[in-house]
Amino acid sequence: VVTTGDDFVTTRTLLSPFFCHFDLPPKRDGGAASITADPLDILRYFSPLPGPNPGHGVKYALHKAARPISRGIPSIMARIAVDMDDVIADTLAKVLDEFNRRHGLHLSKSDLIGAHFHEILAVDQHRNLMSMVLEDTFFGDLPVMPHAAAVLERLSKHHEIFIATAAMEVPTSFNAKYQWLLTHFPFIAPLKIVFCGDKSIINADYLIDDNPRHFARFIGTGILFDSPQNAHAKGYHRVHSWLEVEEYFKNIQAQKESTVSAN
Ligand SMILES: [Mg+2]
Protein backbone atom coordinates (compact mmCIF):
# COMPACT_ATOMS: atom_id res chain seq x y z
CA VAL A 1 0.00 0.00 0.00
CA VAL A 2 1.39 3.36 -0.93
CA THR A 3 -0.26 6.36 0.64
CA THR A 4 0.35 10.05 0.42
CA GLY A 5 -0.28 12.81 2.90
CA ASP A 6 -0.10 12.61 6.67
CA ASP A 7 -1.94 9.34 7.19
CA PHE A 8 1.10 7.39 8.33
CA VAL A 9 -0.52 6.44 11.61
CA THR A 10 -3.52 4.85 9.91
CA THR A 11 -1.24 3.10 7.47
CA ARG A 12 1.00 1.73 10.15
CA THR A 13 -1.70 0.58 12.53
CA LEU A 14 -4.30 -0.78 10.18
CA LEU A 15 -3.07 -1.77 6.81
CA SER A 16 0.35 -3.29 6.78
CA PRO A 17 2.57 -5.34 9.05
CA PHE A 18 5.52 -3.81 7.18
CA PHE A 19 5.59 -0.08 7.33
CA CYS A 20 8.12 2.02 5.44
CA HIS A 21 8.29 5.70 6.14
CA PHE A 22 9.42 7.50 3.02
CA ASP A 23 11.11 10.55 4.45
CA LEU A 24 10.64 13.76 2.55
CA PRO A 25 12.82 16.80 2.85
CA PRO A 26 11.26 19.55 4.93
CA LYS A 27 9.03 21.90 3.03
CA ARG A 28 10.55 25.21 2.21
CA ASP A 29 8.53 28.29 2.96
CA GLY A 30 5.40 28.04 0.87
CA GLY A 31 6.95 25.48 -1.42
CA ALA A 32 5.73 21.98 -2.09
CA ALA A 33 7.83 19.09 -0.88
CA SER A 34 9.57 17.13 -3.57
CA ILE A 35 11.03 13.66 -3.52
CA THR A 36 14.78 13.70 -3.78
CA ALA A 37 15.34 10.19 -2.49
CA ASP A 38 16.23 7.30 -4.77
CA PRO A 39 13.10 5.19 -5.41
CA LEU A 40 15.36 2.19 -5.97
CA ASP A 41 15.88 2.14 -2.21
CA ILE A 42 12.29 0.96 -1.92
CA LEU A 43 13.18 -1.97 -4.19
CA ARG A 44 16.28 -2.76 -2.12
CA TYR A 45 14.18 -2.72 1.02
CA PHE A 46 11.83 -5.42 -0.29
CA SER A 47 14.49 -7.52 -1.99
CA PRO A 48 17.51 -9.39 -0.72
CA LEU A 49 19.72 -7.73 -3.32
CA PRO A 50 22.77 -6.10 -1.80
CA GLY A 51 22.97 -2.43 -2.38
CA PRO A 52 24.53 0.67 -1.02
CA ASN A 53 23.20 1.72 2.32
CA PRO A 54 20.47 4.29 1.77
CA GLY A 55 22.12 7.54 2.45
CA HIS A 56 20.24 10.09 0.53
CA GLY A 57 17.19 10.98 2.50
CA VAL A 58 15.28 7.72 2.86
CA LYS A 59 14.63 6.35 6.32
CA TYR A 60 12.94 3.05 6.97
CA ALA A 61 11.07 1.93 10.02
CA LEU A 62 10.11 -1.72 10.09
CA HIS A 63 7.26 -2.74 12.36
CA LYS A 64 6.63 -6.46 12.35
CA ALA A 65 3.14 -7.00 13.61
CA ALA A 66 3.06 -9.58 16.34
CA ARG A 67 -0.11 -11.33 17.43
CA PRO A 68 -2.34 -9.98 18.73
CA ILE A 69 -2.61 -7.50 15.88
CA SER A 70 -3.90 -4.80 18.19
CA ARG A 71 -0.49 -3.99 19.58
CA GLY A 72 -0.30 -1.13 22.01
CA ILE A 73 -3.79 -1.58 23.38
CA PRO A 74 -4.89 -3.97 26.13
CA SER A 75 -4.74 -7.56 24.95
CA ILE A 76 -8.39 -8.18 25.73
CA MET A 77 -9.35 -5.66 23.07
CA ALA A 78 -9.82 -6.78 19.51
CA ARG A 79 -9.62 -4.85 16.28
CA ILE A 80 -12.91 -5.45 14.49
CA ALA A 81 -13.46 -4.44 10.86
CA VAL A 82 -17.11 -4.13 9.88
CA ASP A 83 -18.59 -4.14 6.40
CA MET A 84 -21.23 -1.56 5.57
CA ASP A 85 -23.65 -2.86 2.91
CA ASP A 86 -25.99 -5.56 4.22
CA VAL A 87 -24.20 -5.58 7.56
CA ILE A 88 -24.78 -2.20 9.22
CA ALA A 89 -26.90 -0.87 6.34
CA ASP A 90 -29.86 -2.75 4.91
CA THR A 91 -28.78 -1.97 1.37
CA LEU A 92 -30.70 -4.88 -0.08
CA ALA A 93 -33.97 -3.47 1.30
CA LYS A 94 -33.31 -0.11 -0.35
CA VAL A 95 -32.37 -1.72 -3.68
CA LEU A 96 -35.51 -3.86 -3.70
CA ASP A 97 -37.87 -1.05 -2.62
CA GLU A 98 -36.52 1.43 -5.11
CA PHE A 99 -36.25 -1.02 -8.02
CA ASN A 100 -39.78 -2.33 -7.40
CA ARG A 101 -41.13 1.21 -7.22
CA ARG A 102 -39.47 2.31 -10.45
CA HIS A 103 -40.37 -0.77 -12.47
CA GLY A 104 -43.65 -1.94 -10.93
CA LEU A 105 -42.15 -5.20 -9.69
CA HIS A 106 -42.68 -7.17 -6.48
CA LEU A 107 -39.26 -8.65 -5.82
CA SER A 108 -38.53 -9.56 -2.23
CA LYS A 109 -35.57 -10.79 -0.21
CA SER A 110 -36.89 -14.33 -0.48
CA ASP A 111 -36.33 -14.16 -4.26
CA LEU A 112 -32.63 -13.68 -3.54
CA ILE A 113 -32.04 -16.66 -1.27
CA GLY A 114 -28.74 -18.08 -2.50
CA ALA A 115 -28.93 -15.94 -5.66
CA HIS A 116 -27.62 -12.66 -6.98
CA PHE A 117 -29.54 -10.08 -8.97
CA HIS A 118 -27.90 -10.99 -12.26
CA GLU A 119 -29.21 -14.53 -11.79
CA ILE A 120 -32.87 -13.55 -11.32
CA LEU A 121 -33.13 -10.51 -13.60
CA ALA A 122 -33.12 -10.21 -17.38
CA VAL A 123 -30.02 -8.55 -18.83
CA ASP A 124 -31.70 -5.20 -19.46
CA GLN A 125 -33.34 -5.23 -16.00
CA HIS A 126 -29.98 -5.88 -14.38
CA ARG A 127 -28.45 -3.04 -16.38
CA ASN A 128 -31.20 -0.73 -15.04
CA LEU A 129 -30.53 -1.88 -11.50
CA MET A 130 -26.80 -1.22 -11.81
CA SER A 131 -27.36 2.28 -13.18
CA MET A 132 -29.76 2.93 -10.28
CA VAL A 133 -27.13 2.09 -7.63
CA LEU A 134 -24.56 4.18 -9.48
CA GLU A 135 -26.63 7.32 -8.84
CA ASP A 136 -24.69 9.66 -6.55
CA THR A 137 -27.26 9.80 -3.77
CA PHE A 138 -28.43 6.19 -3.81
CA PHE A 139 -26.48 5.16 -0.70
CA GLY A 140 -27.42 8.30 1.26
CA ASP A 141 -30.66 7.08 2.84
CA LEU A 142 -30.10 3.39 3.47
CA PRO A 143 -32.02 1.90 6.39
CA VAL A 144 -29.79 1.13 9.38
CA MET A 145 -29.66 -2.58 10.24
CA PRO A 146 -31.57 -3.21 13.52
CA HIS A 147 -29.41 -2.68 16.65
CA ALA A 148 -26.26 -2.04 14.55
CA ALA A 149 -25.60 1.45 15.90
CA ALA A 150 -26.31 0.65 19.56
CA VAL A 151 -24.28 -2.58 19.53
CA LEU A 152 -21.33 -1.04 17.70
CA GLU A 153 -21.28 1.90 20.09
CA ARG A 154 -21.19 -0.52 23.03
CA LEU A 155 -18.52 -2.67 21.34
CA SER A 156 -16.43 0.44 20.64
CA LYS A 157 -15.97 0.88 24.40
CA HIS A 158 -14.14 -2.45 24.61
CA HIS A 159 -12.75 -2.95 21.12
CA GLU A 160 -11.30 -0.99 18.23
CA ILE A 161 -13.92 -0.67 15.49
CA PHE A 162 -13.24 0.10 11.83
CA ILE A 163 -15.75 0.32 9.00
CA ALA A 164 -14.32 -1.37 5.91
CA THR A 165 -16.50 -1.05 2.84
CA ALA A 166 -15.58 -2.21 -0.64
CA ALA A 167 -16.68 1.15 -1.96
CA MET A 168 -14.51 0.76 -5.07
CA GLU A 169 -17.24 -1.49 -6.43
CA VAL A 170 -19.43 1.63 -6.70
CA PRO A 171 -17.03 4.60 -6.73
CA THR A 172 -19.90 7.06 -7.09
CA SER A 173 -21.04 6.04 -3.61
CA PHE A 174 -18.12 7.54 -1.65
CA ASN A 175 -19.69 10.80 -0.57
CA ALA A 176 -23.15 9.41 0.20
CA LYS A 177 -21.66 6.53 2.19
CA TYR A 178 -19.41 8.84 4.16
CA GLN A 179 -22.30 11.18 5.03
CA TRP A 180 -24.47 8.20 5.97
CA LEU A 181 -21.79 6.92 8.36
CA LEU A 182 -21.36 10.36 9.95
CA THR A 183 -25.12 10.60 10.47
CA HIS A 184 -25.83 7.15 11.86
CA PHE A 185 -22.48 6.14 13.41
CA PRO A 186 -21.12 9.45 14.73
CA PHE A 187 -19.05 7.64 17.39
CA ILE A 188 -16.84 6.15 14.66
CA ALA A 189 -14.09 8.61 13.83
CA PRO A 190 -13.51 9.34 10.12
CA LEU A 191 -9.98 7.92 10.47
CA LYS A 192 -11.57 4.59 11.28
CA ILE A 193 -13.49 4.44 8.00
CA VAL A 194 -11.75 2.54 5.21
CA PHE A 195 -13.01 2.76 1.64
CA CYS A 196 -11.25 -0.06 -0.13
CA GLY A 197 -11.39 -2.67 -2.87
CA ASP A 198 -9.86 -6.00 -1.92
CA LYS A 199 -10.37 -6.41 1.84
CA SER A 200 -7.48 -8.84 2.22
CA ILE A 201 -5.40 -5.71 2.85
CA ILE A 202 -7.27 -5.09 6.11
CA ASN A 203 -5.17 -5.94 9.14
CA ALA A 204 -7.71 -6.72 11.84
CA ASP A 205 -8.55 -9.53 14.23
CA TYR A 206 -12.11 -9.93 12.94
CA LEU A 207 -14.02 -8.99 9.81
CA ILE A 208 -17.82 -8.97 9.94
CA ASP A 209 -19.06 -9.22 6.37
CA ASP A 210 -21.98 -10.66 4.41
CA ASN A 211 -19.76 -11.57 1.47
CA PRO A 212 -17.64 -14.65 2.19
CA ARG A 213 -15.23 -13.92 -0.66
CA HIS A 214 -13.61 -11.27 1.56
CA PHE A 215 -12.58 -13.97 4.06
CA ALA A 216 -10.49 -15.99 1.60
CA ARG A 217 -7.28 -14.02 2.14
CA PHE A 218 -8.24 -12.13 5.29
CA ILE A 219 -5.59 -12.37 8.01
CA GLY A 220 -8.01 -12.63 10.94
CA THR A 221 -11.29 -14.40 11.67
CA GLY A 222 -14.21 -13.91 9.31
CA ILE A 223 -17.72 -13.62 10.75
CA LEU A 224 -20.46 -14.07 8.17
CA PHE A 225 -23.41 -11.73 8.64
CA ASP A 226 -26.47 -13.58 7.43
CA SER A 227 -28.16 -12.35 4.28
CA PRO A 228 -30.38 -14.01 1.67
CA GLN A 229 -27.59 -13.94 -0.89
CA ASN A 230 -25.12 -15.87 1.31
CA ALA A 231 -27.73 -18.40 2.48
CA HIS A 232 -25.81 -21.35 1.00
CA ALA A 233 -22.31 -20.29 2.11
CA LYS A 234 -20.82 -22.86 4.46
CA GLY A 235 -17.72 -23.08 6.64
CA TYR A 236 -18.00 -19.71 8.39
CA HIS A 237 -19.24 -18.57 11.76
CA ARG A 238 -22.63 -17.13 10.84
CA VAL A 239 -24.43 -14.45 12.84
CA HIS A 240 -28.03 -13.46 12.18
CA SER A 241 -28.32 -10.14 13.99
CA TRP A 242 -26.32 -7.46 15.75
CA LEU A 243 -27.48 -8.73 19.11
CA GLU A 244 -25.86 -12.03 18.18
CA VAL A 245 -22.67 -10.18 17.23
CA GLU A 246 -22.64 -8.56 20.66
CA GLU A 247 -23.06 -11.94 22.33
CA TYR A 248 -20.22 -13.38 20.23
CA PHE A 249 -17.78 -10.70 21.40
CA LYS A 250 -18.96 -10.91 25.01
CA ASN A 251 -17.95 -14.57 24.94
CA ILE A 252 -14.61 -13.76 23.27
CA GLN A 253 -13.90 -11.09 25.87
CA ALA A 254 -14.83 -13.40 28.75
CA GLN A 255 -12.48 -16.06 27.39
CA LYS A 256 -9.62 -13.56 27.07
CA GLU A 257 -10.21 -12.18 30.55
CA SER A 258 -10.16 -15.64 32.08
CA THR A 259 -6.92 -16.40 30.18
CA VAL A 260 -5.34 -13.15 31.41
CA SER A 261 -6.36 -13.77 35.03
CA ALA A 262 -5.14 -17.40 34.86
CA ASN A 263 -1.72 -16.12 33.81
MG1 LIG B 1 -21.59 -6.18 2.20
User: How many Å lie between the centroid of ligand 1 and the Cα of residue 22?
Assistant: 34
The 8 Å CB, 24+ separation contacts for 108-114 are 109/228, 110/228, 112/228, 112/229, 113/228, 113/229, 113/231, 114/228, 114/229, 114/231, 114/232
Query: What local confidence, expressed as pLDDT, does residue 64 receive?
Result: 35
**Active-site entry in 23, 29, 38, 85:** 85
User: How many Å lie between the centroid of ligand 1 and the Cα of residue 92?
Assistant: 9
Nearest CA-CA partner of 45 in 4, 16, 72: 16
Per-position pLDDT tens, the chain of length 263: 666 655 555 555 555 555 566 665 555 555 554 445 566 666 666 665 444 444 333 344 333 333 444 444 455 689 999 999 999 999 999 999 999 999 999 999 999 999 999 999 999 999 999 999 999 999 999 999 999 999 999 999 999 999 999 988 888 889 999 999 999 999 999 999 999 989 999 999 999 999 999 999 999 999 999 999 999 999 999 999 999 999 999 998 888 778 777 76
Whether 124 sits among the annotated catalytic residues: the reply is: no
d(CA 128, CA 218): 33
User: How many Å lie between the centroid of ligand 1 and the Cα of residue 45?
Assistant: 36
User: How many Å lie between the centroid of ligand 1 and the Cα of residue 164?
Assistant: 9
Reading across the β-sheet that carries 79-82, which strands appear in turn?
193-195, 160-165, 79-82, 206-209, 221-225, 237-239
**The model's pTM:** 0.74
Query: What local confidence, expressed as pLDDT, does residue 255 receive?
Result: 83
**Active-site entry in 83, 86, 209, 210:** 83
User: How many Å lie between the centroid of ligand 1 and the Cα of residue 61?
Assistant: 35
Does the bond joining 68 to the residue before it have cis omega, within 30 degrees of 0?
yes
Query: What local confidence, expressed as pLDDT, does residue 59 receive?
Result: 40
d(CA 129, CA 117): 9
Per-residue DSSP letter, 47? S
Coil/strand/helix, residue 67:
coil
Class of residue 39 by CB neighbours under 10 A (exposed 0-12, middle 13-18, buried 19+): exposed
Amino acid type, 179:
Q
d(CA 239, CA 225): 5
Query: What local confidence, expressed as pLDDT, does residue 241 receive?
Result: 98
Whether 29 sits among the annotated catalytic residues: the reply is: no
The answer to whether residues 232 and 226 touch, using CB atoms and an 8 Å cutoff, is no
User: How many Å lie between the centroid of ligand 1 and the Cα of residue 96?
Assistant: 15
Query: What local confidence, expressed as pLDDT, does residue 109 receive?
Result: 97
